[in-house]
């Protein structure tokens, strides 16, 4: 099947993009910044989630490639989508280190250069909370998934505790600037359901990280 050419570029989709210099710094500090959180359960969580990946797998916002080590050997193909050049460079290096075959593609989740119904598994870890247009990204995911396809996700969500939710609201702008557009209190599961996904998800806590990013949702969404 012929793949679709993307018309929009990732920068056109962002109203106020973080500076390129800051995004470069972020790509350097990302792994050390999340290291404790990875050790305190995130690595195990990635591994469990990605054990369910099958067929043609597309990961959106692959970042520095922290998921690469966790894909099962049996998957048919791995496509890593990442719009940020500095992240892509680190992703390519990690891919080499792991000697895993994958294609790295420069694209935003809102405009995937992939054919309709051509993907078995889409993976999104800490990305739907960062994209500028989550509904548009979810519609793209729905478009590229085969009818029996799945979206596997780990995403930040709004806290159920009123105190923590208020902290997330108050620190939203500062954290958004620091973390390159990341929205810590986005109602991602509700957005998935509004986009006609059937969602099975668990709320978990991301230990080893600042409290406002503790609340996570982990699960699987299908059409
Ligand atoms: C918090 S990082 C998560 C990286 C990785 N998925 C992980 O689990 O460690 C968010 C990633 O989403 C990427 N990103 C930002 N906007 C995006 C968009 N519109 N489409 C796809 N990826 C995007 C960023 O460049 C960054 O690599």
Q: Could you report the per-residue pLDDT of 25-53, keeping only the tens digit for each?
A: 989 999 999 999 999 999 999 999 999 99
**Burial letters for 154-174: b for 16+ Cβ neighbours within 10 Å, e otherwise?**
bbbbbbeeeebbebbeebbee
Asked if residues 59 and 83 have their Cβ atoms less than 8 Å apart, the reply is: no
pLDDT of residue 177: 82
pLDDT of residue 172: 87
pLDDT of residue 13: 39
Q: Which CA distances in Å does 58 have to 29, 67, 68, 138, 139?
A: 25, 12, 12, 13, 15
pLDDT of residue 99: 84
If you take atom 14 of ligand 1, which residue's CA is the nearest one? 61
If you take atom 22 of ligand 1, which residue's CA is the nearest one? 61
Phi, psi (deg, nearest 5) at residue 200: -115, 115
Q: Distance (Å, rounded) from C-alpha 146 to C-alpha 219?
A: 18
pLDDT of residue 7: 43
pLDDT of residue 3: 53
pLDDT of residue 175: 83
Residue among 20, 44, 63, 65 whose CB has most ligand 1 atoms within 8 A, to mutate? 63
**pLDDT under 70: residue ranges of the chain:** 1-16
Q: Distance (Å, rounded) from C-alpha 152 to C-alpha 127?
A: 12
Q: Which atom of ligand 1 has the smallest separation from the CA of 132?
A: 19
Q: Which residues line ligand 1 (CB under 6 A)?
A: 10, 60-63, 66-67, 82-84, 87, 108-110, 125-127, 130-132, 182
pLDDT of residue 181: 75
Q: Which atom of ligand 1 has the smallest separation from the CA of 84?
A: 25
Q: How many CB atoms lie within 10 A of CB 48?
A: 12
What angle (nearest 5°) sits at the alpha carbon of residue 168, between those of residues 163 and 172?
155
pLDDT of residue 193: 97
pLDDT of residue 109: 98
pTM of the predicted structure, to 2 decimals: 0.92
């Amino acid at each position: 099947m012929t793949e679709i050419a993307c018309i929009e570029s990732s920068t056109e989709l962002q109203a106020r993009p973080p500076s390129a210099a800051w995004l470069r710094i972020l790509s350097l500090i990302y792994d050390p910044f999340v290291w404790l959180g990875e050790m305190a359960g995130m690595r195990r969580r990635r591994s469990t989630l990605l054990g369910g990946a099958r067929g043609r797998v597309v990961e959106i916002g692959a970042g520095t490639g922290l998921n690469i080590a966790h894909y099962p050997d049996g998957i048919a193909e791995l496509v890593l989508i990442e719009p940020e050049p500095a992240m892509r460079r680190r992703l390519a290096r990690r891919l080499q280190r792991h000697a895993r075959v994958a294609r790295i593609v420069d694209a935003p989740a809102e405009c995937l250069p992939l054919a309709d119904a051509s993907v078995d598994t889409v993976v999104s870890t800490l990305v739907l909370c960062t994209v500028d247009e989550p509904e548009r990204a979810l519609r793209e995911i729905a478009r590229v998934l085969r009818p029996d396809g799945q979206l596997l996700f780990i995403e930040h969500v709004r806290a159920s505790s009123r105190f923590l939710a208020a902290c997330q609201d108050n620190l939203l702008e500062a954290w958004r600037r620091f973390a390159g557009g990341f929205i810590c209190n986005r109602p991602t599961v509700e957005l998935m359901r509004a986009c006609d996904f059937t969602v099975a998800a668990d709320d978990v806590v991301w230990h080893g990280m600042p409290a406002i990013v503790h609340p996570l949702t982990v699960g699987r969404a299908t059409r």
